Structure 1
Amino acid sequence: MTQAISDTHLAEYHKHGYTVVERFFSGDQLTRCRDEIEQLLAVSEPDERSHVEHTFPLGVASVMSRSFKGISAVDKDIHTDALNATFVDEHLLDFARQVIGVEHPLMVFGYLRAKYPGGAFDQPLHRDIDNTYVVPREDPRHHHLQAFVYWDDVTEELGPTTVVSEAAGKGAPPVLGRDRDHLSRFFGARPFDDNALRPDLYDAEHKVLVPAGSVLLYSMNTLHRGTHFAAPHGRRAVTHMAFRNPANNWQGIDGYGRRTFDPLMVRFLTGATPQQRTAIGFPSVDSDYWTAETLLGVAERYPEMDMSPYRTAPSPA
C-alpha cells in the first residue's frame, strides 16, 4: 500500500525543491515489489560500470531475452506487474498534478537501476538538464518532477543520493558538474572543479538515508548527485521516473511509442487503469482522439483491454 503525500511534503517541496516521503511503499506491496526486483536482477549481469539498468515496463519476455544485452537467457517470462504499477502510482500522480498544475501529467521516462560495489558512482553536483533541450524554468507550467524510489535500505556505505535546497543553490550556474563535462566534449570548454568554485554547495548537501520503500521527489532545478559506493558487498536498487506537462515536448529523454508492440508494454497497457495509461502518453478518457472508428481500432489492437471508460466518456466540448 502507499500513503497519500501530505501538504507538509508539498510545502517542503516548494520551499527546498525536494521532499522525502519515508516508507511511501510498505507492507505487502513493498514485499511483492522487492521479490520482483530479486527475480529480475537474478538474471541480470552488471555491466563494466558495476550497475544494471532496465527501462520501463520492467520484466523479461523469454522469447526476447537472448537478444538483450546484460540479460541471461531465461526459459520463462518474468513479470513485474506490481513494480510496473508503482511508476504511475495514484498518489504519485496526484502529487505530480499538484506540482505541475495539469490534470494529466506525462511520465517521460522510467527505469530500474541497481548499483553494486566497484562502480565509479561519486558524481559532482548537477541538475538533470540532460532531460531537456533547454534549462529549467521556475514556472509550474514548465515544471519537471522527478522521483527516486529506493527499494533497499539506504545507508552511508551504499552511495546515498545527496540534494541541495534550492535556497542554498540560488545563483549557481544552470550548467554544473557532469552536464558541464558533457558540453565540454562538444564545445571544447575546460571542465573545472565545481567543489572548488562553490564549496558552499557541498557544505549544504543533505544525504538521503532512508528505509526501503521511501521516495525522493525533486525538481529538475534541484542540485543533487550520486556518492561513492563504499560497501564491499551489497546492492542499492532504485526506480527513477519523471513527469512533465504533456504540452512541453522539449522535456524528457524517452518515449514509449517505439515499444508499443513489446509484449511487456502490451501487458502493462492492458492491465493498467485509464489514468495510468494516460501518465505514459496514452490518450486520456476525455481526449478528442476518441471516435467510433478509433475505439474499434484500439479494441482490435488490444483485445483484452477494457474499452468501456473510453466509450462512456462525455464528448469533448
Structure 2
Amino acid sequence: MPLSDAHLQHYRDHGWVVVPHFFSAQELAPALTALPEVVPTAEEFAEHPDCERCAALVSGPFEGLLNYPLAQQPLNALAVDEKLLSAVGTVLRTPDVRIYQACLWAKYGGPHTYDQRLHLDYRNQSLLVPSEDPAFHQVNAFVYLNDVDDDSATRVVSRQHTSGLAYDEADLDRARHPELYALEQSAVGPAGSLLLFEARTYHRAVDITRPGAARFVLNTAFRTAQAEWVGYHAWPFRGKRPEWVAWVARSSPAQLRALGFPPPHHPYWTPDTLRAVGLRYPGIDLSAWEA
C-alpha cells in the first residue's frame, strides 16, 4: 500500500499528512535528471541570481510556478505516476480520480517574498465551496523534489482547530486569528516525500530566508470524478502542444483515465474514434480500449 494506516488516519484526523520517501531515490531519479533543464539549480541561482533565466523566476511570488505539460516527459509522468494515483484514490475513497492541476514550483532563497496568509484554495479551483461529502472531495498532492526543511516548508493547520470556521473565511488575517497562526505546523520532509492536504485545510507558503537555499515541488491536485465543478487547468486547451501529445502517448490506461479519457467500453469508443485517436497521439497504446 502506498499509504500506511497511520498516514491515512493522520490525514482523516487532521486534513493533511506528509509521507516521507513516498518515492524512492530510484523512482525520483528521471525527474531529477530533467529538472535542471526546466529551472536553475540552487547552486546556479546562488551564483547568478541576476541572469535572465533566474531573475524571471523570482520577479513575483508565482513566477516560479510552471504549468504542465512540460517538454521534459519524466516530470510529466511523475504527475500521474500510478503509485501517486493509488494514494490519491485511497484518500478520496475512489479509484476514479481526475488530475485538475499539475505545476512545477521552484522557489529560491533571497529577498523575494513567497509569504502568504493562511487560506483555502477553493476560490480559484472550484465554482462552489468544499463539500463535507467524501464523494465530492479534492486533495492537493505535493511531491518534494529536494529536501524540504522548516525554512521552506508549507505551513498547515489541523482541521481539528478550524472546522468551525465558515467557508467565506477563505483567507485568514493574522491579526484576527493569531491563535491559528500559533498552531500551524511545518510540512517538512526529505526528497521524494508526499504532502497531502484536503481542500478544507488551511495552509500557506513562507519566505525562504536562507541564502543559497531552494525548494522544488511538483504541485498536483486531484478530485473525485463526480466533482465536475472543481478545476484549474483545462487539459483540452493544451491539446495541440507537442509536449501534451508526447505525455498522452506515453501514459497508461489508468493515467489516461486520470487525465479525462473515457474508460474502455464507453459509448464514445468506436472503430472510427479509436483509429483517429491513434493518429492524433502516435505511439499511444489503445489495446485496453480495443479489447
Q: Distance in 2 between matches of 1:13 and 1:21?
A: 10
Counterpart position of 1:107? 99
Q: Distance in 2 between matches of 1:134 and 1:225?
A: 21
Partner SS for 2:142: strand
Q: Distance in 1 between matches of 2:27 and 2:69?
A: 18
Counterpart position of 2:16? 18
Instruction: Kindly indicate whether the alpha-carbon contact (under 8 Å) linking 2:136 and 2:226 is maintained by their aligned counterparts in 1.
Output: no
Task: Give me the TM-score of the superposition, normalised by structure 1.
Answer: 0.81
Gaps (5+ residues) in structure 1? 60-79, 181-192, 313-317
Instruction: Kindly indicate whether the alpha-carbon contact (under 8 Å) linking 2:137 and 2:227 is maintained by their aligned counterparts in 1.
Output: no
- Which one of the candidate residues 122, 129, 133 is aligned to 1:135? 129
Alpha-carbon RMSD:
1.8
Distance 1:228 1:303, change over 3 A: closer
User: 1:199 offset after TM fit, Å?
Assistant: 1.8
Gaps (5+ residues) in structure 2? 41-52
Distance 1:286 1:105, change over 3 A: farther
Q: Which amino acid aligns with 2:21?
A: R
Instruction: Kindly indicate whether the alpha-carbon contact (under 8 Å) linking 1:52 and 1:113 is maintained by their aligned counterparts in 2.
Output: yes
Q: Distance in 2 between matches of 1:209 and 1:301?
A: 42
Partner SS for 2:74: helix
Q: Does 1:85 pair with 2:55? A: no
Counterpart position of 2:25? 27
User: 1:266 offset after TM fit, Å?
Assistant: 0.6
| Ranges of 4+ aligned residues in structure 1 off by more than 4 Å | none
Counterpart position of 1:256? 235
Instruction: Compare 160-169 and 295-304 and name the one that shifted more.
Output: 295-304
Counterpart position of 1:72? none
Q: Distance in 1 between matches of 2:99 and 2:224?
A: 9
Counterpart position of 1:55? 67
User: 1:115 offset after TM fit, Å?
Assistant: 0.8
Q: Distance in 2 between matches of 1:308 and 1:152?
A: 37
1:173-196 per-position Cα deviation (integer Å, ceiling 9, x unaligned): 3234xx55xxxxxxxxxxxx7222
1:100-140 per-position Cα deviation (integer Å, ceiling 9, x unaligned): 23332000110001012232211111111121122111111
Distance 1:100 1:149, change over 3 A: same
Counterpart position of 2:5? 7
The correspondence of residues 1-317 of structure 1 with structure 2, limited to 5 A, is: 4-42=2-40, 45-49=56-60, 51-59=63-71, 80-116=72-108, 117-129=110-122, 130-157=124-151, 159-176=152-169, 179-180=170-171, 194-312=173-291
Q: Distance in 2 between matches of 1:302 and 1:30?
A: 26
Partner SS for 2:197: strand
Q: Distance in 2 between matches of 1:119 and 1:215?
A: 26
Instruction: Kindly indicate whether the alpha-carbon contact (under 8 Å) linking 1:99 and 1:140 is maintained by their aligned counterparts in 2.
Output: no
Instruction: Kindly indicate whether the alpha-carbon contact (under 8 Å) linking 2:64 and 2:106 is maintained by their aligned counterparts in 1.
Output: yes
Partner SS for 2:119: coil
Q: Distance in 2 between matches of 1:24 and 1:38?
A: 22
Instruction: Kindly indicate whether the alpha-carbon contact (under 8 Å) linking 1:97 and 1:103 is maintained by their aligned counterparts in 2.
Output: yes
Q: Distance in 1 between matches of 2:154 and 2:140?
A: 13
Instruction: Compare 266-275 and 99-108 and name the one that shifted more.
Output: 99-108
User: 1:286 offset after TM fit, Å?
Assistant: 4.0
Counterpart position of 2:48? none
Q: Distance in 1 between matches of 2:115 and 2:66?
A: 21
Distance 1:291 1:102, change over 3 A: farther
Instruction: Kindly indicate whether the alpha-carbon contact (under 8 Å) linking 1:154 and 1:160 is maintained by their aligned counterparts in 2.
Output: yes
Q: Distance in 2 between matches of 1:221 and 1:231?
A: 30
Distance 1:132 1:114, change over 3 A: same
Q: Distance in 1 between matches of 2:240 and 2:57?
A: 27
User: 1:10 offset after TM fit, Å?
Assistant: 1.4
Task: Give me the TM-score of the superposition, normalised by structure 2.
Answer: 0.88
Q: Which amino acid aligns with 2:64?
A: V
Instruction: Compare 283-292 and 259-268 and name the one that shifted more.
Output: 283-292
User: 1:162 offset after TM fit, Å?
Assistant: 0.7
User: 1:24 offset after TM fit, Å?
Assistant: 1.1
Q: Which amino acid aligns with 1:13?
A: Y
Distance 1:237 1:138, change over 3 A: same
Q: Which amino acid aligns with 1:38?
A: P
